[in-house]
Structure 1
């Protein structure tokens, strides 16, 4: 009995000491965070960065937007060891330094409104990255393996570029919630989208004459709430879209749709879902190929063969005036959305 009491006292003592150590660590982290600095050099018409008079490792947020920078020195980036937010939008950058991969704590990177044609492969080392904004550049491709490395990314915005394809590894971005790839030259989307279990918003609109199909796996995006595929060359929506239970907003205007026909589309989103669901069920009866997809849809819990819907669901169709995805540029209004207007310091850092 005495031995058990001694053991219990020892365990209590160990727990107490562990709590004290944790409090000390929290205190040290708090002191370290207080030492970190926010540096704002935005809108100063800088052609080059001045020699820093401060400790670069002490910067947690660096704002260089709205300048005339043509490059960022490798040596400078490599020393930003504690930077969490890096904003260089609306400059004249043609590339990013390879040392960007040293930023292991980087969570938000805004490089929009530049002249960047390719992202360095080293960006894959920024494994804490949660938001990448590369809108309004000249990107023709993304690193092939980007989806295998940036597993914490929640928002990927690459609209208004020259992308012809998204790498197949994109389908491995399991934390991704928003994917904005409108206004590109996309020919297709990755086939295996089912791993994007947290994707809520998908915008692939305005790829105009290039995008002709959507992958069948789009029906396995169990968290999808908004889908904008307007102004493309899509003639047939995948039957599997009838299984998107959480879908609330759908925009498919500006496509030469045959299936579903426009008279169904005009009835609203739920009518589209019912049409596609019935079509999928019919195809399942006579097509062995479709049976494997039905099995997947059933396993994912998206398909049960019922078509019951509330009035709210029936009215959830996205009309042509829907603008929930910020900065949407239609053919009529694309000139209104310049990089400087969209990505001003006031707008960006007030979010």
Structure 2
């Protein structure tokens, strides 16, 4: 569906009925929001919302669009944030959020769980700190950060190589030095299941084990490849688990039916 350059101010909620839609181009319009029902477009692989007036993206994008491969929201000068929950974007390969000059100053920590990410463009924003979870993106090959007032990693790290950037961020994560507030459940996933598949090594002293991957050393990370299926990730998503629809499933009466309640 190609709706670019039509001065659209909104999309209908009924767009969520397009369960087989794979490509949606709404770039060059006047959209300030996208309907939450876009999360029902389960087959969506590419979403282009460049050159609009978006202030935010629906949280449903982060934990419902499990087949999304490319997401572009460049040049939405009012965009303030990306969805906090991006843990289910396990097939996302390209993420472009450049030239959102005025307000976009952070990236969600859960971006590190987008294990298929190959290209990340965050150029020309207000970002000072990269989430150290980016160091877990083992498939990342292209990272654009120019035009940001970056403090961490420092620019001399970026001037070396992307691999050095990953190592820097991984070291920060292991040391617990991130300046950003972390969600404990995200951190547990990154540390316990991050997809660093390398060769087990022993340190010079023989006591500490580590993983070697593409020249970097990671401390005992295990693969998420077998756990990241869409059917599993969707079920365990915090956004779905604690939704209004599912809270009833967590009630004491349902969990412990044999008890007597007064």
TM-score w.r.t. the length of structure 1 is 0.54
Write 1 or 2 for the structure with the bigger share of helix.
Answer: 1
Q: How does 1:127-166 map to 2 (within 5 A)?
A: 127-147=19-39, 149-166=40-57
The alpha-carbon deviation at position 236 of structure 1 amounts to 0.1
Q: Is the 8 A contact 1:284 1:294 kept in 2?
A: no
Could you say which residue in structure 1 is the equivalent of 2:190?
A: 297
The alpha-carbon deviation at position 179 of structure 1 amounts to 0.2
The alpha-carbon deviation at position 121 of structure 1 amounts to 0.9
> How far, CA to CA, are the matches of 1:281 and 1:160 in structure 2?
38
> How far, CA to CA, are the matches of 1:268 and 1:128 in structure 2?
40
Root-mean-square deviation (CA), in Å?
2.3
Could you say which residue in structure 2 is the equivalent of 1:309?
A: 214
**CA distances 1:122-157 after superposition (whole Å, capped 9, x unpaired):** 11111110000011111110002311x100000000
Q: Is the 8 A contact 1:220 1:300 kept in 2?
A: no
Q: How does 1:189-204 map to 2 (within 5 A)?
A: 189-204=82-97
- 1:115 aligned to 2:7? yes
> How far, CA to CA, are the matches of 1:158 and 1:237 in structure 2?
23
Paired residue secondary structure (1:250): strand
- Which of structures 1 and 2 has the larger relative contact order (alpha carbons within 8 angstroms, sep 6+)? 2
> How far, CA to CA, are the matches of 2:211 and 2:102 in structure 1?
35
**CA distances 1:65-90 after superposition (whole Å, capped 9, x unpaired):** xxxxxxxxxxxxxxxxxxxxxxxxxx
Q: How does 1:252-271 map to 2 (within 5 A)?
A: 252-271=145-164
The alpha-carbon deviation at position 208 of structure 1 amounts to 0.7
Q: Is the 8 A contact 1:140 1:162 kept in 2?
A: yes
Q: Is the 8 A contact 2:14 2:37 kept in 1?
A: no
Paired residue secondary structure (2:95): strand
- 1:231 aligned to 2:136? no
The alpha-carbon deviation at position 290 of structure 1 amounts to 6.5
TM-score w.r.t. the length of structure 2 is 0.72
**CA distances 1:259-287 after superposition (whole Å, capped 9, x unpaired):** 001111111211111110001100079x9
**CA distances 1:243-262 after superposition (whole Å, capped 9, x unpaired):** 10100111011100000011
**What is the number of equivalent residue pairs in this alignment?**
201
Q: Is the 8 A contact 1:243 1:277 kept in 2?
A: yes
> How far, CA to CA, are the matches of 1:198 and 1:293 in structure 2?
18
> How far, CA to CA, are the matches of 1:288 and 1:229 in structure 2?
20
Unaligned runs of 5+ in 2: 198-209, 217-262
**CA distances 1:152-207 after superposition (whole Å, capped 9, x unpaired):** 00000000100000001111100100000111021001011010111000001110
Q: Is the 8 A contact 2:3 2:25 kept in 1?
A: yes
The alpha-carbon deviation at position 298 of structure 1 amounts to 3.6
**CA distances 1:14-46 after superposition (whole Å, capped 9, x unpaired):** xxxxxxxxxxxxxxxxxxxxxxxxxxxxxxxxx
Q: How does 1:269-284 map to 2 (within 5 A)?
A: 269-283=162-176
